[in-house]
Chains A and B, each alone.
Chain A
Amino acid sequence: MISRATPPRTGSLLPGAAPKKREVPLLVAYAFSFAFLHWTASPWGGAGFFSLWYPPAGLRFAMLWNCGPRITPWLIVAELCADIATGVIHLGAPDTLQAMTGIMRPGITYGIAIAAVRHIAREHTDTLALPPMTLGLAAVAAPALNALMVVPFEALLPSDAGRYRIGVDIAISLTGLAVGDLLGILVLAPLLLWLAAVAGAPRRMRIAMPPLRPVLEDATVIGGCLLLTIALWRAGLGAQPAPGLLAGAWIGLRHGRIAAWLAILAQVLVFLPYSAGPLDDAARLELHLGIAAVVLVTWLAGSFSDAQKTSRAAIDKRNRLLFQAERLKTLRAMSVAVIHEISQPLSTLAIEAGHLRSVTQDLDPEIADSAALVDRKARALSDLVRRLRRFGGRDVDEPSPLPVAMLMQTACQIVAAEVRGSSGRLECAAVAPDLVVQAQEIELTQALVNLLRNAFAASPGETVSVRAYAVRGEARIEVANPVTVASASAGMGVGLVIARTIIEAHGGTLVREDETACIRFALTLPLLAGATI
């Protein structure tokens, strides 16, 4: 299994991809639901537009958002089948082609709008590109693009008895179309997407009860505004959506998308039965325009509020990381001080141990051996202190030719000291001395140390092995640990992120390549050609 730790991008615009197996029954169900919802929309129809409340648009949008724009062609086929089956299109009639293009247009424009919004979201990092906001933008962009595309479609294939009248009434036609779609999307799509998320969740999602206070606040606001609307209507001013607009904006901004959607639902449930009644087309269009404004403002306010929350959460996370970095900096300063303090008495010890060894070598072998052992250990300790000082004490880390063997030795020395207390073991394979990379030694050692620490954290008490070799002009270092029952890690989970950042900054890659019994991280770095160390 090979997988990059970065999540794969979803929703490419390649329409060539066939639907996945699990999507076929979904498409069949879609066709039926589409036909049914299309039929339910008829009471809100009028001259120049099909319906001012068009729930199939919500279904289409949810489907495309969930499965990605690549499903667009299959969605169009499903819609065509539904329309042919229900007699919306009469095959063989003189305007069949026009009717079919008219039915294909919304699918195409929705697919394009969703793909475009997702593309923009990938390229930008501001609030508008944060997750809930992208859905909000797509929900507005899709019906708007659909309405705008009517003109070129009608210009290319004008229908004799067109639904969309070209000329003086075009504004009414397109507004009606956009309003109907927008209402359908914003009322139905959030519910459908939430249901899809619940169904697709790996574990049963726990639906937490919201706290009472915001619920009461929102209920009071929406209740008050609806009462005001009724009062205005009773006063003979007609069904005014302005109070609903205020309520929606307030609720959305205060409590996010879920509250916004419930507010939308409440308002739609009040207004739609009224607008389905005996109203003339102009009054109905005016009312629905108002409702669309309410729904749009409410939803965008909710999305914006949630995007702000996401953004705040990201800042909080960054703050925690910064705090951690500060602590690490302090720890580093402390370690450097300790190393320096040790080096002073160690100098004396090492020199005296060397002297002891030389003066005792002709004495009793036991004494000579002991003195030799003390000398050897003092030398090893001196070597370690020099190495550690180079690792922790240098402020400027310039890229320089670095033998991979040295990199591995330093990292292994650091980590081996940490695991000595546990029963874990570090297996460091020999490395060819000509394996040299151009690198910042301290940073790269830190990256390898992080990987080794992660391996020991994932497989406590086991043997972690590390080896390096050259492959296709690259130095490849592999850190492998056996798969064990996952244990709670004490780390912050930033070690891998830091390692990847460092390695990628060196023009390398960090890939996870798991096997059945072992977890392996492979680190590749460009080899330095012609290096002489």
Chain B
Amino acid sequence: MIDCMSDLLVAVLDDDADLAATVARLLTRNGVAARAFVAPQDILAMLPDRALGCVISDIQMGEMDGFAFADVLRVRDPAVALVFMTAWPTTAHAVDAVRRHGGLDYLEKPIDEPRLIAAVSEGLAWSKRERRIAAATASFTRREREVFNLLVRGHSNKEIAEHLAISARTVEDHRAAIVAKTKTNGLAQLVALSRGEET
């Protein structure tokens, strides 16, 4: 059973409505909130009102194929995990799915259930992390984001000041603002935040 993450929905997209519904039901049985879709437009229309954790998408579909849909989806919401499934597996597609379109896995039909569950579970966890980081850093200014990125990589105030060509004093001001906005206590918590861990 997957950890219940009721706030994040899993969308199952396949132009074969029966298969989409079956996979959605399978996920629901495994404790995942899942919904079946037969057209990519239906999922895109749902955004951004409903946050998606993971999309399991077929590749060969009607007007918009799985890869084109993935690209559009990424622009609209970069924190959605993608898992591809296909009845026409090719090596080239498998490589593209992962490297170019950021897919977590490339599943061959008939679908291997344990592998599907594992991929969705990983996808949801990833999405949750991404959303947590995005939420925590949403209120940062551009400069604060730069300071935050260097800080969590272990740079000292002095090094950050040199790197960004600002004074150490200004770095300290930014750092105080970051801590205040994220309600964290110390560098360790900031690093944990940057990794999407709960603080």
How long is the Cα–Cα vector from A340 to B19 in the complex, in angstroms? Answer: 14
Q: Mark A321-355, 1 if CB is under 8 A from B, else 0.
A: 00000000000000000001101111110111011
Chain A residues contacting B16 (CB-CB under 8 Å) are: 344-345, 348
- CB within 8 Å for A389 and B26 given contacts A344-B19, A346-B110: no
Q: How distant is the Cα of A434 from the Cα of B185 in the complex, in angstroms?
A: 57
Q: Which of A343, A345, A347 has the most CB of B within 10 A?
A: A347
A351-B23, A351-B26, A352-B22 known; A344-B111 Cβ under 8 A: no
Contact check, A340 vs B18: say whether CB atoms are below 8 A apart. no
User: Shortest CB–CB separation between residue A395 and chain B, in angstroms?
Assistant: 8
Q: Is the CB of A386 closer than 8 A to any CB of chain B?
A: yes
Q: Mark B82-108, 1 if CB is under 8 A from A, else 0.
A: 000001110100000000000000001
Given A340-B88, A344-B19: A385 and B110 within 8 A (CB)?
A: yes
- Please tell me if the beta carbons of B110 and A347 are within 8 angstroms of each other in the complex: yes
B71 on interface, CB distance cutoff 8 Å: no
Chain A residues whose C-beta falls within 8 Å of the C-beta of B115 in the assembled complex: none
Q: What is the CA–CA distance of A347 and B19 in the complex, to the nearest angstrom?
A: 7
Nearest CB on A from B64, distance (A): 18
Q: What does the 1/0 interface line of B1-25 toward A look like (CB < 8 Å)?
A: 0000000000000001011001101
Q: Which residues of B contact A310 (CB under 8 A)?
A: none
Interfacial chain B residues near A350, Cβ < 8 Å: 110-111
In chain A, residues 391-412, which have Cβ atoms closer than 8 Å to a Cβ of chain B?
A: 393-394, 396
Cα of A343 to Cα of B111 in the assembled complex, Å: 9
Q: Give the residue name and chain of the A residue nearest to B60 (CB).
A: A340
A382: interface (CB < 8 Å): yes
A354 CB to nearest B CB, Å:
6
Q: Tell me the interface secondary structure of chain A in the complex.
A: helix
Are B87 and A351 in touch, CB under 8 angstroms?
A: no
Instruction: Give Cα A351–Cα B36 distance, bound, in whole angstroms.
Output: 15
Task: Decide: A344 near B22, CB < 8 A? Known: A354-B113, A382-B110.
Answer: no
Report how far A393 CA is from B108 CA in the complex, Å.
Answer: 13
Contact with B along A66-85 (1 / 0, CB 8 A): 00000000000000000000
Interchain CA distance A393-B23 in the complex, whole Å: 25
Determine how close the nearest CB of chain B comes to the CB of A352; give it in whole angstroms. 6
When the two chains form the complex, which single residue of B26, B87, B89, B91 contacts A344, counting CB atoms closer than 8 Å?
B87
Segment 113-156 of B: residues with Cβ below 8 Å from A: 113
Determine how close the nearest CB of chain B comes to the CB of A393; give it in whole angstroms: 8
| B109 contacts chain A at the CB level, 8 A cutoff | yes
Measured between beta carbons, the chain A residues less than 8 angstroms from B19 are 344-345, 347-348
Asked if B29 CB lies within 8 Å of chain A CBs, one says: yes
Chain B: CB-nearest residue to A378: B110
Chain B residues near A355 (CB-CB < 8 A): 25-26, 29
Q: A389 with B111: in contact, given A348-B18, A352-B22, A355-B29 (CB under 8 Å)?
A: no
Residues of chain A contacted by B89 (CB below 8 angstroms) = 389, 393
Contacts of B109 in A (CB 8 A): 343-344, 346-347
> How far apart sit A381 and B109, CA to CA, in the bound complex (Å)?
12
Distance between Cα atoms of A351 and B22 in the complex (Å): 7
Q: Which residues of B contact A341 (CB under 8 A)?
A: 87
**Cα–Cα, bound, A343→B112 (Å):** 12
Further contacts, 16 of them, CB under 8 A, given A347-B22, A351-B26, A355-B26: A343-B110, A344-B19, A344-B109, A345-B16, A345-B18, A346-B109, A347-B19, A348-B16, A348-B18, A350-B110, A351-B22, A351-B113, A355-B29, A386-B108, A393-B89, A396-B91
Q: List 26 A-B contacts (CB under 8 A).
A: A343-B87, A343-B109, A344-B16, A344-B87, A344-B109, A345-B16, A345-B18, A345-B19, A346-B110, A347-B23, A347-B109, A347-B111, A348-B18, A348-B19, A348-B22, A350-B110, A351-B23, A351-B26, A351-B111, A351-B113, A355-B25, A355-B26, A355-B29, A386-B110, A389-B89, A396-B91
Q: Name A's B-contacting residues (CB within 8 A).
A: 340-341, 343-348, 350-352, 354-355, 381-382, 385-386, 389, 393-394, 396
Closest 5 CB pairs of A and B: A382-B110, A347-B110, A347-B109, A343-B109, A343-B87
